[in-house]
Amino acid sequence: MWVYWFTLILVAIVLFFAIKIIVPTKIAVITSTFTFTLGFLFPLFQPRLLIWQIVLLFLSALFLFGFWITNELLKEKLNTANKPETDGEVLTVEAIENNSNTTEQSSLIDNLQGYVTEEVKPESITEDLTKEELIVEEQINEVALTKESFDEELATRESIVVDETIALELTIQEEVATEIIDAEQKLDERTDEEINLDSTVEECELSNEEISETVSEDKSPVNESAQTLLAQGLLFRKGKDFPSAIRCYKKSIALKPTSELLYLVISELSSVYQQLGLYSMASGIINTFIEQPELKNHSGSDNLRQKMKFISCLSGLLNKYQLGQIPYERVPKEILSEAFKESLK
Whole-number pLDDT of residue 309 = 94
Whole-number pLDDT of residue 156 = 66
Q: Is it true that domain 143-170+225-343 has CATH number 1.25.40?
A: yes
Whole-number pLDDT of residue 157 = 63
Q: What residues does each domain of the chain span?
A: 2-82, 143-170+225-343
Whole-number pLDDT of residue 307 = 93
How many Cα neighbours within 13 Å face the side chain of 315? 18
Whole-number pLDDT of residue 341 = 92
Whole-number pLDDT of residue 127 = 56
Whole-number pLDDT of residue 14 = 78
pLDDT tens track, the chain, 345 positions: 677 777 778 777 877 777 777 777 777 777 778 777 877 777 776 667 676 766 676 677 666 666 677 777 777 777 776 655 444 444 444 554 555 555 555 665 565 555 444 444 445 545 555 666 667 567 666 655 565 665 666 566 655 654 555 555 555 556 544 554 554 454 444 444 444 433 433 333 333 333 233 333 334 344 558 899 999 999 999 999 999 999 999 999 999 888 899 999 999 999 999 999 999 999 999 999 988 888 888 888 889 999 999 999 999 999 999 888 899 999 999 999 999 999 998
C-alpha dihedral, 313 to 317 to 320 to 326, nearest 10°: -120
Geometric angle at alpha carbon 287, from 338 and 175, rounded to 5°:
135
Whole-number pLDDT of residue 300 = 86
Reported pTM? 0.38
How many Cα neighbours within 13 Å face the side chain of 85? 8
CB 196, CB 278: distance < 8 Å: no
How many Cα neighbours within 13 Å face the side chain of 21? 4
Whole-number pLDDT of residue 327 = 92
Helix 279-289 to helix 259-276 angle (10° resolution) is 160
What does the DSSP assignment read for 194-208?
Answer: TS-HHHHHHHH---H
Whole-number pLDDT of residue 284 = 93
How many Cα neighbours within 13 Å face the side chain of 44? 5
